[in-house]
């Protein structure tokens, strides 16, 4: 067995860390997710140009009870209450990263402005603070621009070094899955 150099270990560690914290872009460069740590919280900005019309994007964004089919980590999503464009939505599941997992148990107060925006705020569960907003706008060529901004602060312990990376990975994976589902349905003509 050959000895492993410190430089090689450091290089591999750097590559892993960079893969976890760098902005994500799709092959076409249409999906970008950026995150910044704010104390124990994570501030998220996401943007995607969708190869889909706005009505379809809106349909997927507000397809709360089917989210477990296309959002990794969400095992159950239930609308507990709806009064017009104001909802109470409960998500449960677990996010996984390497050999770590952390629980998802959150009740969200959701407000919708159809075909424009969706906001959410945690009102129960295992997140100290969780705020999110999706904005939709029309683009040329029958496309839509999807923007996401969020602030996430879990109320459960995360391993000091790998925990923030796991949270980043999970958020990036969820946004990319939302975009993927919108584009998948557009390609199928639904």
Asked whether residue 19 carries a pLDDT value surpassing 60, the answer given is no
- CA-CA-CA-CA torsion sign (52, 120, 45, 174): negative
Is 112 within the bounds of a domain?
yes
Among residues 182, 188, 151, 139, which one has the least CA distance to residue 26? 182
**How many CB atoms are closer than 10 A to CB 12?**
11
89: how many CB neighbours lie within 10 A of its CB? 20
Closest CA to 94 of 85, 102, 86: 102
CA atoms of 131 and 45, how far apart (whole Å): 12
Q: How far apart are CA 88 and CA 61, in angstroms?
A: 15
Instruction: Give pLDDT, residue 41.
Output: 80
Q: Is 94 exposed, middle or buried (0-12, 13-18, 19+ CB in 10 A)?
A: middle
Segment (H or E) for 110: strand 100-113
pLDDT at residue 157 in the model: 64
Nearest C-alpha neighbor of 161 from the set 43, 21, 22: 21
Apex 39 CA angle, 10 and 90, nearest 5: 105
For 46, the domain range is: 6-188
CATH of the domain at 46: 3.30.530.20
Q: Tell me whether residue 111 is in a domain.
A: yes
In a domain, 21, yes or no: yes
By DSSP bridging, strand 117-125 and strand 86-97 are unpaired
Count of domains observed in the chain = 1
Answer whether residue 1 is part of any domain: no
Note the pLDDT tens digit of each residue in 135-172. 999 999 889 999 999 998 888 766 566 666 776 777 88
Type and span of the H or E element at 169? helix 162-188
Residue 23 lies in a domain: yes
pTM: 0.80
| pLDDT > 50? residue 8 | no
Token pair listed for 141: 């060529």
Residue 4 pLDDT more than 70?
A: no
CB 144 within 8 A of CB 134: no
Is 49 inside any structural domain?
Answer: yes
User: What would the pLDDT profile of 31-48 be if each residue is shown by its tens digit?
Assistant: 888 888 887 788 989 999
* pLDDT-derived band at 20, boundaries 50, 70, 90: very low
Report, as an integer, the average pLDDT of 112-139: 94
At 97-118, the pLDDT tens digits run 676 677 889 999 999 999 999 9
Partnered with residue 86 across adjacent β-strands are 83, 111
């Amino acid at each position: 067995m050959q000895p492993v150099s410190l430089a090689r270990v450091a290089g591999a560690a750097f590559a892993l860390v960079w893969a976890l914290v760098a902005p994500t872009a799709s092959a076409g460069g249409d999906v970008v997710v950026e995150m910044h740590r704010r104390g124990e919280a994570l501030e998220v900005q996401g943007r995607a140009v969708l190869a889909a019309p706005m009505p379809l994007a809106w349909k997927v964004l507000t397809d709360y009870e089917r989210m477990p089919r296309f959002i990794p980590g969400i095992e159950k999503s239930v609308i507990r209450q709806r009064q017009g464009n104001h909802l109470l939505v409960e998500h449960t599941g677990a996010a996984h990263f390497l050999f770590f997992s952390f629980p998802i148990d959150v009740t969200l107060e959701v407000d919708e402005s159809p075909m424009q925006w969706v906001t959410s705020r945690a009102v129960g569960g295992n997140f100290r603070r969780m705020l999110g907003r999706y904005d939709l706008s029309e683009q040329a060529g029958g496309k839509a621009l999807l923007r996401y901004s969020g602030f996430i602060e879990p109320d459960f312990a995360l391993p000091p070094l790998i925990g923030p990376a796991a949270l980043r990975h999970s958020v990036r994976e969820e946004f990319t899955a939302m975009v993927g589902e919108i584009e998948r349905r557009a390609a199928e003509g639904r």
